[in-house]
Structure 1
Amino acid sequence: MPELDRVKLLAARYRAATDRPYLASALYSLTVVPSTGVPTMGVDRRWRCYVSPAFVDATPVPELAGVWIHEVAHLLRDHHGRADRLSAADQRDRLRVNVAQDCEINDDLLADGLALPAGRLEPRSFGLETGGLFETYLPRLPPLVTCSDCGSGAHGSPADWELPGADGPGGVGTVEAGALRRHTAEAMRSHQRNRGTLPAGWRRWAEQVLEPVVDWRRVLAGAVREAVAWSAGAVDYTYRRSSRRTTALRGVVLPSLRRPLPAVAIVIDTSGSMGEDDLAAALAEVTGVLREVGVGGNRVTVLACDADVRTATRVTSAQQVELAGGGGTDMRVGIRSALALPERPGVVIVLTDGFTPWPDEPASSRIIAALIGADPPAPPSWVEPVRVTDLR
């Protein structure tokens, strides 16, 4: 194997860490592994950086510094973990995934003024807009695209030139990798606060690491499932289907136990502070969740609550919901009307921006508040809140 010019390689890493100090901890966590198999530089899942001696000899230090940052960006952005969640068909074409990932990274690096070797791929190479994630670029790439293999630390599939498993020098475990990501995100936030300059892609990444976004749809689905199961927990006897023990008793018909499906009421805040599109989208999401847990339309009542006239009107679709256009909000009216329905609902789901008074005491039914909009106030402790953060 040709001798690796470590002085030049490490000088490039030092330059990268000096110019972007918020990346220093991540850069110095990479273990260098010389390799003639890797075409340029690449990383594995354990933060080992495989380096071609010929590539180091042929590449100026400023460009090597850019490649260092490119490779560590794959690991910081957890590209291999995100690639594991792709479909099996996408995972089989690992270089196509790698191209999409390079597009996600390189537009940020170029916007930050970094020098990268010729032939680098970016969204504009394929007529795509900048600032996207690789998952959005992947289906829009032309067929048969390829690039230099960045290793399993990018696309998730081990390359031929990688050391097997945990063998070999160095290596960063999953827990330590998570700590490095958080430390780097905190350093970016501090850098931005003090100097005010950080590429948009890195800024977005740091915000997601420090304030991870929870999929509210999954939270809502879990809350509804739990509430429906709780409400349906009571069992009753029915003679519509006889007990299996009936066959053991001549002339005696035993009833079987049944678990009734609860009724559900959805109370919608139609005050002027609520957006019509958001309401329709939220209602569609909630009714979809109810269908998933087995609660059909005949078990769901939707009440549009108009605080101005202190009424609640039953509707059957999102198209029938009309906004009040102004005035205050008082969801107590809607909740009270829901609980007074001929068949008392076991679960009441309230779609609101949260700026409303609530009943003074808990009801016997489970109450879930789907809070729409930015920074809604917290409901009472006996109301289960679900923050609705986006309705795209």
Structure 2
Amino acid sequence: MNAEDKILSARTGLLWDQPFFGALACQLQLVDATDDPRIDTMATDGKRLYFDRAFVGKLNRAELMFVLAHEVLHNAFEHHTRRQHRDHRLFNVACDYAINGELVATKVGKMPAMGLLDARFTGLGAEEIYRLLEEEQESGGGGAPGAGGQGIDPGGCGGVLDAAPAYDEAALAEARAEMQAQVRQAAAIAKATQAGVLPAGIQRIIDQLLKPKIDWRAVLRRFVDDASTRDFSWAKPNRRFLPLGHIMPGDISDGISHIVIAVDTSGSIDQKILSEFAAEIRGAYEEGAVDRITVIYADSAVAHIEEFETGDELVLNAAGGGGTAFSDTFRTITERFPDARACIYFTDMYVCDFGDEPPMPVLWGVQGRTKDFDSLTPPFGETISLAA
């Protein structure tokens, strides 16, 4: 069989054996990308399925079914809209680890020998895996394994392309909405085809995909952007457009963009979440959205204060203990840092003493309160769940 016929045969197999994945695979337009240097396996951007003929020729039917399901989950997990400023190849590796553990657990086809699988990453999101891999790279531990060639897919099991450039929020939002509609449709088809009884693994994936969610990273970036006072200048080109060959004006501060981060050291704040947040803020540093950060560590009272400026590596630590009260923190912010444009408070929200509202907007990053998060009603500020 030629490559197209092998793909169609594998897709038919998915429709019979795993209709959820098969229905999503049928939505993708086949594109021969054999001559595209980015693609030496397969790849998808949410609408198309790009394939390399030589790669398809090496796979048997069960392996090809796995790869098709792999590409489908790239889209269903919205990896094609989430890369932002991250390295393309390393992000593909992170996405592969996030996907392959799920597919192996649900016994979809057979993972090709070159596929990436690591039990410590199963169940984690692509962004968290990316951060862990990046830390391994920085410490000299590798961080980007895989048998792939020079294309976007070092994992050798199918890659993901961006649905739109990172700066085109409207196009990315449209791609997310379109994919969410396709996932709901595929879930309905799967339930109808299998008499309403889905394998437990598939049901868990569908429940995860259909659960209403807010990406705390997007809320955080919006909060940071709203807190910035900026103007445009040709003296500082926008780095997002440079890879596209366009020189556009970048933004500069009208004054100092100063943000206060408060860390509740009394609670069970997850160090991994704090590290991931720090990585997002480093991205804001690189784009010029933040010039200065004050970090306040506190339990029932302020214990320690650190200052970071542009170019510094932001490191947050959750170590500490004691009771919980926010009044001393907000009193310190109001008295010592009135120039701050915003305050972000990481806490488990087990507190009665909120103190007085400071003279700047507050974003509560709540960790460890997934079951009762919707019932949390602080007297001021906007609340996001760090479990999202």
Q: TM-score, normalised by structure 2?
A: 0.51
Q: Does 1:20 align with 2:23?
A: no
In the TM superposition, what whole-angstrom CA distance separates every residue of 1:81-114 from its partner, at most 9, and x where no partner exists? 56785547x49xxxxx988876665554444334
Which structure has the greater CA radius of gyration? 1
Correspondence list, 1:48-197, <5 A: 65-66=65-66, 68-77=68-77, 86-87=86-87, 90=89, 105-106=99-100, 108-116=102-110, 120-123=113-116, 131=122, 136=133, 140-141=143-144, 145-146=148-149, 154-156=159-161, 174=175, 176-184=178-186, 194-195=197-198, 197=200
Matched residue pairs, number? 317
Residue of structure 2 in register with 1:223 after alignment = 223
Q: 1:352 to 1:18 in 2, by over 3 A?
A: same
Residue of structure 2 in register with 1:167 after alignment = none
Q: 1:85 to 1:76 in 2, by over 3 A?
A: farther
User: Root-mean-square deviation (CA), in Å?
Assistant: 6.2
8 Å Cα contact 2:43-2:50 kept in structure 1 = yes
Counterpart CA distance in 2 for 1:287 and 1:209 is: 29
8 Å Cα contact 1:267-1:348 kept in structure 2 = no
Give 1:47 deviation, angstroms.
Answer: 2.7
Question: Structure 1: where are the runs of 5+ without partners?
Answer: 92-96, 158-172, 231-258, 307-311
Instruction: Pick one of 186, 198, 209 that aligns with 2:201.
Output: 198
Counterpart CA distance in 1 for 2:113 and 2:277 is: 45
Correspondence list, 1:264-343, <5 A: 269=264, 272-273=266-267, 293-295=290-292, 302=296, 304=298, 306=300, 312=301, 315-317=304-306, 323-324=321-322, 326=323, 329-332=324-327, 334-335=329-330, 339=334, 341=335
Q: 1:214 to 1:20 in 2, by over 3 A?
A: same
8 Å Cα contact 2:270-2:318 kept in structure 1 = no
8 Å Cα contact 1:304-1:313 kept in structure 2 = yes
Give 1:48 deviation, angstroms.
Answer: 5.0
Q: 1:70 to 1:369 in 2, by over 3 A?
A: closer
Instruction: Pick one of 349, 352, 365 that aligns with 1:357.
Output: 352
Deviates more, 1:22-31 or 1:313-322: 313-322
8 Å Cα contact 2:41-2:51 kept in structure 1 = yes
Give 1:122 deviation, angstroms.
Answer: 2.0
Q: 1:196 to 1:115 in 2, by over 3 A?
A: closer
Residue of structure 1 in register with 2:366 after alignment = 372
Counterpart CA distance in 2 for 1:47 and 1:185 is: 20
Counterpart CA distance in 2 for 1:41 and 1:280 is: 35
Counterpart CA distance in 2 for 1:183 and 1:315 is: 51
Residue of structure 1 in register with 2:234 after alignment = none
In the TM superposition, what whole-angstrom CA distance separates every residue of 1:31-74 from its partner, at most 9, and x where no partner exists? 56799989999566443576969978x98765664454345445
Counterpart CA distance in 1 for 2:7 and 2:259 is: 64
Q: 1:177 to 1:195 in 2, by over 3 A?
A: closer
Q: For residue 123 of structure 1, what is the amino acid of its counterpart?
A: L
Counterpart CA distance in 2 for 1:279 and 1:43 is: 30
Question: Structure 2: where are the runs of 5+ without partners?
Answer: 163-173, 231-253, 307-315
8 Å Cα contact 1:33-1:48 kept in structure 2 = yes
